């Protein structure tokens, strides 16, 4: 890679440099070093100071934290602006791998600085990286992995915010590593009238497949913790994905307004960045069997594989024995599988992750208790399909909104949750509620008020 420098201040924060997260962060930052970027490492988690010294990045250890000791988005952005004088800044998640094709994209930003406020971002491609990269060979290695396994992620996966100074003059105290803050930043940029430029036709970010077990940030923490709940409350429903935020597209390093192009560049962009399910699944399974991560991390990697491939998984952790069984497929069964065999391999992972959950559901059904799914979105639909394959009957769907009499969803009766819970406290066996929504914590509060006990009367 070249020795490119720009007038952009890049900044990020890191988890402790331990286990899989440490490996991925070290690899990502190494590729930034290879590009010659000016980088600020913010925060003092274990290993950050040593990595900053090794890569010759500036290190600012003291940053604002939430009451749970999680870095705040506002604190990161304000600290970066205060510690730099550059006209543009860029927050990038620390595990992102950067390819040389990003260098001319960053150089083109200099021209944008004369045209008003802007936000530049790029979509990411997921690849399995289970090895330590070296400076002299990292470009060739990540290119090989991208060609073999790379698949575009969904448009709500946003890892880079390259913006004109002053664009985000006030950011609420979102906790990093939890839901909602990235989609809120897109909304805020649009609300401020900034150009929102997607450069994915010229360059992509590379993202290592991983779980969320490091530093306690597991799947439940990501979507259902008190910090995640607070992020949603702070966002107040404001948020965009890349698909509905983009106003401009970069092509051949020229910035073009989507509405001014004779052939919709947005359509071209969306068609060319569709996820490749087979590659996505294969790369996830390959990483699963090759990783040397801890049992908790392996469990989280398995959930990531299922989530990215729109398959159900429970949010509590399976036993260690179940996790160990995840790695018994071996390279040949997982990595060489295609088509139906690949789907079968994914279903085996799902069965192992769901062993305890299925046992609970069978016990509930055998006791004659009706099972209802609270959540009508994709998570609920996936749960219904999974339980159907297990031969476990579902009595109803529940929704938090007011439902009409005789309303149905996915072929099942649909009830307002509080009405159903009130009615069925007095009629027949007490139902068991399966939570299938990002709002599990709020739902759990309602269930507790109705006398439902976690694990015995409801699960998620």
Q: What is the DSSP string of 336-393?
A: T--HHHHHHHHHHHHHHHTHHHHHHHHHHHHTT--EEEE--SHHHHHHHHHHHHTT--
Report the candidate in 309, 310, 307, 313 with the shortest Cα–Cα distance to residue 278.
Answer: 309
Mean pLDDT of 279-288: 83
Report the candidate in 153, 24, 176, 154 with the shortest Cα–Cα distance to residue 91.
Answer: 176
Helix (H) / strand (E) element for 235: namely: helix 226-235
pLDDT of residue 365: 95
Whether the per-residue pLDDT at 452 is higher than 90: the answer is yes
Residue of higher predicted confidence among 340 and 39: 39
Residue-wise pLDDT tens digits, 312-359: 888 766 666 666 677 655 545 555 666 777 888 888 888 888 988 999
The residues that bridge with 175 in the sheet, in sequence order, are: 72
CB atoms within 10 A of CB 114: 7
- Number of helices (H) and strands (E) in the chain: give both, helices first: 19, 18
Edge-to-edge strand order for the sheet containing 118-121? 58-60, 38-42, 8-13, 88-92, 160-164, 118-121, 195-198, 248-251, 254-257
Q: Using an 8 Å Cβ cutoff, are 142 and 133 in contact?
A: yes
Whether the per-residue pLDDT at 427 is higher than 80: the answer is no
pLDDT of residue 359: 93
pLDDT of residue 215: 40
Helix (H) / strand (E) element for 254: namely: strand 254-257
Residue of higher predicted confidence among 307 and 219: 307
pLDDT of residue 95: 97
Q: In angstroms, what CA-CA distances link 441 with 43, 343, 414, 445?
A: 29, 32, 21, 7
Mean pLDDT of 224-250: 85
- Whole-model pTM: value is 0.84
Residue of higher predicted confidence among 144 and 289: 144
Rg, Å, the chain Cα set: 23
pLDDT of residue 119: 97
pLDDT of residue 214: 46
Residue of higher predicted confidence among 83 and 301: 83
Whether the per-residue pLDDT at 362 is higher than 90: the answer is yes
CB atoms within 10 A of CB 153: 19
**Least reliable range by pLDDT among 44-53, 248-257, 263-272, 367-376:** 263-272
DSSP 454: B
> Coil, strand or helix: which one is 40?
strand
pLDDT of residue 426: 59
Mean pLDDT of 134-148: 91
Mean pLDDT of 88-106: 95
Q: Using an 8 Å Cβ cutoff, are 47 and 16 in contact?
A: yes
Domains of the chain in sequence order: 8-272 (3.90.550.10), 277-353 (no CATH), 360-459 (3.40.50.720)
Residue-wise pLDDT tens digits, 160-214: 999 999 999 899 999 998 878 999 999 999 999 999 999 999 999 999 988 764 4
How far apart, in whole angstroms, are the C-alpha atoms of residue 101 and residue 96? 14
pLDDT of residue 219: 52
Q: In angstroms, what CA-CA distances link 365 with 261, 282, 423, 437?
A: 57, 35, 20, 22
- Name the percent of the chain lying above pLDDT 70: 89
Whether the per-residue pLDDT at 4 is higher than 60: the answer is no
Following DSSP, what letter does each residue of 159-225 receive, concatenated? Answer: -EEEEETTS-S----PBTTSSSHHHHHHHHHHHTT-EEEE-TTT--EEEE---S-GGG--HHHHHHS
Residue-wise pLDDT tens digits, 373-389: 999 999 999 999 999 99
How far apart, in whole angstroms, are the C-alpha atoms of residue 428 and residue 437? 26
Token couple for 414: 């649909």
Task: Using pLDDT thresholds of 50, 70 and 90, give the confidence band for residue 217.
Answer: very low
Helix (H) / strand (E) element for 460: namely: none
Handedness of CA 227, 229, 232, 233 (dihedral sign): negative
Parallel, antiparallel or unpaired: strands 8-13 and 88-92: parallel
Longest dimension (CA), the chain: 72
């Amino acid at each position: 890679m070249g020795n490119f420098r720009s007038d952009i201040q890049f900044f990020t924060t890191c988890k402790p440099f331990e286990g899989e997260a440490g490996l991925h962060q070290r690899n990502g930052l190494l590729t930034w070093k290879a590009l010659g970027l000016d980088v600020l490492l913010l925060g003092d988690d274990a290993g950050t100071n040593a990595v900053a010294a090794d890569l010759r990045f500036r290190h600012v250890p003291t940053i604002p934290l939430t009451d749970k000791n999680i870095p705040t988005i506002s604190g990161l952005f304000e600290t970066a602006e205060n510690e730099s004088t550059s006209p543009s800044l860029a927050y990038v998640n620390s595990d992102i791998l950067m390819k040389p094709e990003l260098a001319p994209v960053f150089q083109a930003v200099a021209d944008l600085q004369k045209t008003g406020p802007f936000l530049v971002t790029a979509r990411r491609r997921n690849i399995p990286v289970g090895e330590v990269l070296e400076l002299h060979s990292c470009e060739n290695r990540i290119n090989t992995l991208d060609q073999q396994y790379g698949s575009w992620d969904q448009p709500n996966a946003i890892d880079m915010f390259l913006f004109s100074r002053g664009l985000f003059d006030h950011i609420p105290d979102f906790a990093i590593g939890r839901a909602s803050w990235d989609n809120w930043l897109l909304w805020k940029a649009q609300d401020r009238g900034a150009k929102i430029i997607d450069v994915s036709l010229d360059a992509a970010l590379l993202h290592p497949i991983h779980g969320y077990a490091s530093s306690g940030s597991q799947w439940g923490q990501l979507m259902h913790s008190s910090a995640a709940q607070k992020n949603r409350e702070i966002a107040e429903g404001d948020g965009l994905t890349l698909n509905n935020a983009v106003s401009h597209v970069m092509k051949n390093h020229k910035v073009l307004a989507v509405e001014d192009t004779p052939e919709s560049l947005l359509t071209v962009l969306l068609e060319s960045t569709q996820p490749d399910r087979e590659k996505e699944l294969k790369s996830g399974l390959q990483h699963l069997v090759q990783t040397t991560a801890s049992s908790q991390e392996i469990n989280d990697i398995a959930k990531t594989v299922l989530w990215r491939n729109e398959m159900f998984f429970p949010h509590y952790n399976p036993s260690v024995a179940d996790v160990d069984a995840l790695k018994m497929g071996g390279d040949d069964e997982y990595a060489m599988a295609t088509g139906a065999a690949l789907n079968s391999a994914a279903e085996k992972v799902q069965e192992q992750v769901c062993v305890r959950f299925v046992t609970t559901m069978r016990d509930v059904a055998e006791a004659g208790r009706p099972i209802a799914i609270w959540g009508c979105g994709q998570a609920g639909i996936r749960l219904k399909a999974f339980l159907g394959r297990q031969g476990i009957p579902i009595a109803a769907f529940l929704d938090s909104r007011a439902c009409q009499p005789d309303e149905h969803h996915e072929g099942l009766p649909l009830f307002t949750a509080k009405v159903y819970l009130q009615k069925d406290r007095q009629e027949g066996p007490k139902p068991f509620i399966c939570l299938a929504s990002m709002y599990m914590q709020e739902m759990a509060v309602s269930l507790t008020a109705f006398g439902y006990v976690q694990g015995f009367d409801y699960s998620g």
